[in-house]
Structure 1
């Protein structure tokens, strides 16, 4: 006797609550399956559609477990197979709810900072932490702050424990360097999540620790991250001041490239200082020509120098803010192919949004092409949204409002739908 096909209303309801579509759930399941140590899944959007419609009666235990882990993380509670319409599926182990909010309380940071003045570790332990730190930097733009912040916190706590033991001076210096970098990484991640007060506290801690070992390059990096935080808080004058402070530590060294482009030029653009933008860009370009910089698109979260491509992407944003749309398109198109060939979905989104905004604000607007790029940008970042993409997507949305065109109205609708789905990860509400 043929089986009666019935829609899985429970799965549909949970997906609706989670704000995830077929494509989104399939992509998240593929990614989660590659990271949890089990069998990798090749779930597609058509598979999800079959589960929703009841064409596929129930998933295999492994598929069901991964689906539950993903949906549990999105709705912030543990789900059982019965909750998504599969009471008959027996799991090998109970799915665990992933940690969604992963930063520490201000009290923990404060207590640790106070204890740093108090005083033998195996060098291998420090090397492992070094490797782990580099690995997190490499994975950051693929996995994002929500998934990786717990790993950084665990490393930071372990390093803190070791600093409280009696160490040889050289080992203690290495521990402090790692501590400063890990706190700095947490500051950067908190900015990406819109957790600005936490970002500032982590930065304060990182700068203090870097000062204990008198590491001006690391201090310059932290000031760059503080400027980055101020920029996304809309405090552009503060972002300028922090970038200039960082440049005093960086001098003409590698960190100056980031401070000049990501910090100074972008913030000066927001306050309309075209001459200041030109001067910062010229100095950054000169340094990038004489200093050894990496090829391709360097990671956004890195303690290494910015590459030419990363520099150009930031210059495009600076010129967009100050109203030089020709230069925005020049620098944006310069890095487009490198960005598209990278793992950075955020860079793909941000460069597209900069180009799109320049296209609609230029003297000869191309609304159709701009909206196409804007919609692509939203699609790229839907699974791992961050604060910067949220801000620029809405800035582009504002720029399209003056056009009475169906394409512009379509983007507004797509933006509203996208915003509802990613609000918990990247919206301004996270800044409180």
Structure 2
């Protein structure tokens, strides 16, 4: 049953008691987020008003925490999520502001270890860089490319410095493997920021090093990232070709699941090739059953195999583009719970947008529920927007223009307001101001 927006009377009452309106609360939340050690918010008075009216659902954990801090300070008492109408929000234990400064940057440790080794970089140094790479991958969907890209660039420059020094052959191989991964990560991050020239250059560098190493799985991974880049550039033929080339290197190995679902199937869907989508997804599902895959929702940025959940999320997108809305809903609902349990705000947004679009384009459109999900999707990733969410949110927005319904018009207003706030970080270059 479609959800009817209901006024959040508790939030409205607490704001009234605190003596703040939507504009004042939004401004105070922005100011507080700049000084409390967490990600900076770009909350608008329009979004606060939507929360008060119940149009866009509940805020994410970060926004809720800041809202509680602002209102609690005004009222001189501690507030819980239930006090402002959100009993379902559970606030995780937040580290103190001093926690990030309690440990050294991995680069500092590698430099000290190298100094101890005098000439050659030894395995402990490379172990720490390996750890730093894994740590960035784990943090990526929480912190995003804007914050983490500088760390990857610093590590990549450090690896380049180490490669220019005298090393043992075995260590040189490890250094080149790390260089490939770091350049590949930068390519992936650049796509998320819509910086396609940089993405292509980093990928070219990564593929060249992987070729020198004669490492087929790394070459397959880079081709998958190049296909990912071409897809968001709207070059679907190229995206499919790159994915197919990657499959030559991957064979039926771990990288094939990503190449088939994220690369080939999604590109075929955009090309209107429903049979091609079905073939690629079936092949990916067969491999996922045969190969060891992670549980839950694997990270989108990973060098490990895709999990069943990540595969399903990509299948939903591919079938949506191909016009198979029943399968979109099947895969979307299959992965929805796992996505909501994960740290990936982007996946929550993207899966909801896929389901919303399928509901809108199905034989019996559910405009109200579709708009509710679409509005939720914008809220989830507002603080860490990426190019894929921008693109899919606007594709859904275009679909709503076919409906003369209040909810459809409201989504278009919410979308314009959201787009103004996130334009710098996720919009195509031609739409940036």
TM-score over 0.5 (shorter chain): yes
Partner of 1:153: 153
CA distance in 2, matches of 1:273, 1:41: 41
8 Å contact kept, 2:33–2:39: no
29 and 259 in structure 1: CA distance in 2 versus 1, 3 angstrom threshold: farther
Does residue 314 (structure 1) correspond to residue 314 (structure 2)? The answer is yes
After superposition, residues 319-334 of structure 1 pair within 5 angstroms as 319-334=319-334
8 Å contact kept, 1:187–1:201: yes
Q: Deviations over 1:225-256 (max 9, x none)?
A: 00000000000000000000100000000100
Partner of 1:263: 263
Q: Tell me the TM-score normalized by structure 2.
A: 0.76
Partner of 1:136: 136
Stretches of 4+ aligned residues off by more than 4 angstroms: 20-31, 40-43, 46-51
Shift of 1:298: 0.1
Shift of 1:47: 4.6
**SS of the counterpart of 1:32?**
coil
Shift of 1:218: 0.4
Q: Deviations over 1:177-228 (max 9, x none)?
A: 0000000000000000000000000000000111111110000000000000
222 and 33 in structure 1: CA distance in 2 versus 1, 3 angstrom threshold: closer
**SS of the counterpart of 1:44?**
helix
Alpha carbon RMSD of aligned pairs, Å? 2.6
Does residue 295 (structure 1) correspond to residue 295 (structure 2)? The answer is yes
CA distance in 1, matches of 2:318, 2:199: 23
Shift of 1:393: 0.3
Does residue 44 (structure 1) correspond to residue 50 (structure 2)? The answer is no
**SS of the counterpart of 2:38?**
helix
310 and 267 in structure 1: CA distance in 2 versus 1, 3 angstrom threshold: same
8 Å contact kept, 2:328–2:358: yes
CA distance in 1, matches of 2:192, 2:393: 15
Q: Tell me the TM-score normalized by structure 1.
A: 0.76
After superposition, residues 192-231 of structure 1 pair within 5 angstroms as 192-231=192-231
Count matched residues.
348
After superposition, residues 92-103 of structure 1 pair within 5 angstroms as none
233 and 216 in structure 1: CA distance in 2 versus 1, 3 angstrom threshold: same
Shift of 1:48: 4.2
335 and 42 in structure 1: CA distance in 2 versus 1, 3 angstrom threshold: closer
8 Å contact kept, 1:29–1:43: no
Shift of 1:50: 8.8
**SS of the counterpart of 2:363?**
coil
Give unmatched runs, 5+ long, in structure 1: 1-6, 35-39, 58-119
Give unmatched runs, 5+ long, in structure 2: 1-18, 41-61, 77-119
8 Å contact kept, 2:156–2:183: yes
Partner of 1:424: 424
Shift of 1:21: 5.4
After superposition, residues 350-369 of structure 1 pair within 5 angstroms as 350-369=350-369
